[in-house]
Every structure is written in C-alpha cells, then in structure tokens.
Structure 1
C-alpha cells in the first residue's frame, strides 16, 4: 500500500503549494483535480490500476473515513445555538429541499445505481466527504462515487467565482452574503475560499452556517441506512444504519461541545483532517475516467448544474426572506 499512499500524500503537498500561491483555490479541490488529470493519462492509469491501486484504494476509503471523524472536532453545538432557531430551521429546510430536489434531478437524468443518492448527499451536505459517508451506508463501489465527486467538485469550484459576483451585483450585506455562501456552497474548503473574499465578518458567518449543514451528515446517513435496511429486509439484504466512522463523527462533535479542547490540539486535528481528506479526494478523483462518462456526459452535466442552481436559488430566497 505504501506506493499508492505516498503518491496520494504528494498530491496533498502539491495542493498545499498551489493554495499557498493562489489562496483563492482550495487545497482539497486541487487534490481532486490532480487525481482527475492522472486518471486520464494512459501511463498514469497503468500505474493507478497496477502497483498503486492498493494504496490509492486505502486512501479513498480509510483516509476519508478518518478525515470525516476529525471533521467533527470543528463543530460545537454552542455555535449552532448562537445562530438562533430561525436560522437553524431555515438551514434544515434548505438542506431537505436540496437533498430531495437533487435526488429527483439525478433520477430524471437517469444516473445509475446509487449515484442519485450519493449526488444528493454531496450537494446538500458537505461535498465529497458526504458522498463517501453515503457510499459507506449504501455499500457503493468506488466507480459509483466518481461521477458524484466530479460534479460536486466542479460546481463547488464554480461557486467560488460566481457567488461573490452575484452577491456584489445584488448589493447583499456581509451577513446575507455569509449566510448564502454557507447555505449553498458544497465543500467546507470551497466555502472558506468563497467567503474570505468578503473579509473576516462574512467568513465567520459562512463557516458557522456551513458547519450546521455538516452536522446534518449523521442523521441524513442514518436515515438513508434505516430506509435501505427496511427495504433490504424484503430483499434478504441488510444495510448498516450508521457506519462506524459516522458514529465517530458524532462522538467528536459531542466531545468538542462538552470538553474544552486546547486550540493547539484542534489545529493539529484540522491539519491531519486536511491531509487525510486530500489523500482520499485524490484517490476518488483518480478513479474518474472521462471515456466512461462520455456516454452520459450531457445528462450528467445537466444533473450537476441543475442541482447547483436549485440549492443556490432556494438558499438565496431563504436568506432574503
């Protein structure tokens, strides 16, 4: 496994360097893009499908799961309470509409297998991390994750440019901009890259709203697992209600909320989380083969853009309400 893990770690280092030179480009997005590029180069594909495969598979699965657990240490229930119940209820509503709407759009676009469910989780909660969590409860293959990861990464990257431009044109306040960004942009890193363009005040609001969406990861995955288990009882199969690493995510949230964890510890955990998620996203990105996607290219792109437009419009309406 060492060669594949080492290559994934090198991708994280490259992502860090790019982010250092271009602060507006999220490090994790660079990791996905590097993986996607590698997955299209014949010489690289031979290595990815050969000696690098065990380590890449470990990064895409195990590193992602550990990273999700550490993500829970960023969340505190006290931060959610400070938002106020109107904001909490608004985010719940937006997330529910985004999940149901994205699932419907993906089904209409005839995305196969569990891909509509994975896409809905990624767009409504927290990008590729949510795709991985939902993939665990649905027991989806890595190939099924590649298309949702590609779409959520593409649309989240577009949001970094589009959301600030639209907010400026519509003369939104800093608070409105922060809430809209946190409620509509997918990945946490993409939220940071988008919101920081309006300064610390907008970033602070966006992060808290976004982390509230991340907090919904556990109940959403548990609900999907329960439904699949009930269906599986009729078909003779059993789906896990809550994967172990999602339970670990919940424990991490409760720990952060109940225990005063020193800031240096939180900083180290966040750094480790970024490294692990970066390795995982490189691994997931490297599984994307454009040739395989060519047959459903237009339908796939329409599903992603439609889902992105849905969550952007709904969250914008709620922010202005």
Structure 2
C-alpha cells in the first residue's frame, strides 16, 4: 500500500499536467501568432503587433475551423493574459511626464475621457443599443482601446460578443484615424506639436497613436504618447467607478458574486506606474516590461480575433458602426476644442 502511494504522482503535479494538456494547444497557437506579428512588425514598423495579431486571429478563424482543443488556451489568453498585459502597461507611465503637461491640458484629457464616455452612452441610448455593448465601445474609444474594453468587461455584465465587437470596432476606426489626424491637422494649419496633442487625445490605441505621431513628424510623437498615457491612467478610476456601480446594482441578488471595488489587475497596473515613477529602473527592465506587455496584449488580441466571425459582424447591422463613427468624431472634437482653448 505504501509503495503504491509513493508511486502516485503528487496531486499538484497531476493538476499541473492536466492544466498543461488543457491550455497548451491554444496558448501555443497564440504564441505562434505573436511571433508572426513581431516578425511582420520588424519589417513594417508602422503596423502595430496588436493590430497584426487581431487581423491574424480574424483571418484564421474565418478561413479554417480551429480544433476544439485550442479553445481553453485561447479563452485564457483573451482574459487572463490581457489583464496581465495591462499590468505591464503601467511600466510605460511616469507621473512626472504626465504632470509636465500642465493643469489645463490635464483638465482637457479628463474632459476627453468623461465627455467621450457620457456622450457615447447617450448616443447609444438614442440608437437603442444594448447598454453593455455601448459601455464597452464608449470606454474603448475614450480611454485606450482594447485594454479599456478588457478592463471594463471585467466589472460589467458584458458577454463575449460585446467584447469582440468593441475590439473589432476599435481596430477598424482607430486604424482609420492614423492617416486621418495628420491629414486633418495639416488641413487646419496645426503645427507638429498641436497635431501630436490632438493625436494623443483622440486616437484609440497607443500603437495607433505612435503610428500617427510618426507620420506627423517633428516633436509630435513625444507629446502624442504622453497625452495618450495620461488617458490610459484614467482607466483605473473609470473601472473603479463602474465596479462600485455594479456592486450597487447587484446588491440584494442572492448568490451573485460582486466584483471588487478595484480589480486586482488595476491595482497591479497602478503599482507598476508607482514603481516606474519612484525608482530609477534599469532601461533593460523597462524595455523587458514593454516587450512583455506587447507580447501579452498581442496574444490576447489574437485570441479575441479568433472570436470575430465576419458573418456575425455583418449580422450586427449598421448601429454599432454608426455609434463607433460618432464616438470617434466626438472624442476627436472634444480633444481639438480643448487643445484650441489651451493653446489659443
């Protein structure tokens, strides 16, 4: 009996083996997609690995039927790895850079996020769309794209279709903004710095902001990224507010698990911001964090892309696209008006 017991693998080992068998196929597929995205990005620097990864996911899932064994790993990447990527995103923020924008510009950034969210929610109500879907679009377009969609999804009742739709719209409309903002800036007679501020204040994904800043040239890229990072920082209070609201609305419902006031990944995100802002971290550590963030978010984007069925998007009708277009114009309009007031 004792010999037989000794030969049995420990419980933790068995569980680890089972988990590996369950998640490995999907995670390996995500890793392969990340490798392809990184290689394409090294050749075409203007294309973000996140955009390439989600395009790969959409193309793959619509061309072939993925094996059922890949589903657990893909789902893990779409949820857990995305949140971990948001944590590492905090290493890219430094409080002093954001504060250096000045109080007037910081007030404009708050107005962009608050006005974008509230305005998009109101437009979504007029279009008679589901509130959960509208909220994801509002936060994704007003704060930081797919990362905001993932953050908000964790504290709301959104379903997978809502998340996938919001991310797909972020990719489509954010990509359209890459050439649109530099062109419109030149048309309006804005210099590189003001165009950079506008790009950072209006474009959805940070990678898309970098691409637009590079097109504008001059000192546009630096200010665009800092403004965008300031918008990203507002993800934490927005998620906390939504979490409190969700807890309040779920009060009294038996057996319902209420979300924490501040989700763990948001705490991790803020901890990384504090770490980067208070310590003189080695450059290799910061670069490593950036690489980890890009890899994790690219894996998550590929996983989310695998949930995008073209026929389902067509079946959504025109309303989500109308809302996405209107939200893009609203956020860009608030940003332009605010920058005009500050730099009048």
**C-alpha distance in 2 between matches for 1:234 and 1:109:** 31
The question of 1:106 aligning with 2:114 is answered no
The question of 1:40 aligning with 2:62 is answered yes
Instruction: State the shift of 1:113 in Å.
Output: 5.3
**C-alpha distance in 2 between matches for 1:300 and 1:40:** 21
Instruction: State the shift of 1:143 in Å.
Output: 2.5
- Deviation sequence 1:117-163 (CA, Å, 0-9, x none): 11111011100011001111115332320000011111110011111
**C-alpha distance in 1 between matches for 2:317 and 2:136:** 18
The question of 1:272 aligning with 2:292 is answered yes
Aligned match of 2:302 in 282, 300, 304? 282
Instruction: State the shift of 1:21 in Å.
Output: 2.5
Larger radius of gyration: 2
* Structure 1 runs (4+) greater than 4 angstroms displaced: none
**C-alpha distance in 2 between matches for 1:33 and 1:284:** 10
| 1:85–1:228 distance in 2 versus 1, CA, 3 Å | same
**C-alpha distance in 1 between matches for 2:172 and 2:273:** 29
**C-alpha distance in 2 between matches for 1:202 and 1:91:** 17
Report 1:122-133 matches (<5 A): 122-133=140-151
- Deviation sequence 1:203-252 (CA, Å, 0-9, x none): 00001100000000100000001111111114444233221111111111
| Greater mean alpha carbon deviation, residues 289-298 or residues 66-75 | 289-298
Aligned partner of residue 40 in structure 1, secondary structure:
helix
Give the gaps of 5 or more residues in structure 2: 1-22
Aligned partner of residue 123 in structure 1, secondary structure:
helix
Does the CA-based 8 Å contact 1:179-1:319 persist in structure 2?
Answer: yes
Q: Which residue of 2 aligns with 1:20?
A: 42
Does the CA-based 8 Å contact 2:125-2:131 persist in structure 1?
Answer: no
Aligned match of 2:83 in 65, 70, 80? 65
Q: Which residue of 2 aligns with 1:216?
A: 234
TM (norm. structure 1) is 0.95
Report 1:191-270 matches (<5 A): 191-199=209-217, 201-236=219-254, 237=256, 238-270=258-290
Instruction: State the shift of 1:301 in Å.
Output: 1.1
**C-alpha distance in 2 between matches for 1:297 and 1:126:** 25
Q: Which residue of 1 aligns with 2:314?
A: 294
Report 1:41-56 matches (<5 A): 41=63, 43=64, 45-47=65-67, 50-56=68-74
Q: Which residue of 2 aligns with 1:9?
A: 31
Aligned partner of residue 33 in structure 2, secondary structure:
helix
Aligned partner of residue 63 in structure 1, secondary structure:
helix
**C-alpha distance in 2 between matches for 1:171 and 1:219:** 35
| Greater mean alpha carbon deviation, residues 29-38 or residues 81-90 | 29-38
**C-alpha distance in 2 between matches for 1:141 and 1:247:** 24
Instruction: State the shift of 1:24 in Å.
Output: 1.9
**C-alpha distance in 1 between matches for 2:91 and 2:202:** 22
Give the gaps of 5 or more residues in structure 1: none
Instruction: State the shift of 1:299 in Å.
Output: 1.1
Q: Which residue of 1 aligns with 2:200?
A: 182
Aligned length: 317
Q: Aligned-residue CA RMSD in angstroms? A: 1.5
Q: Which residue of 2 aligns with 1:319?
A: 339
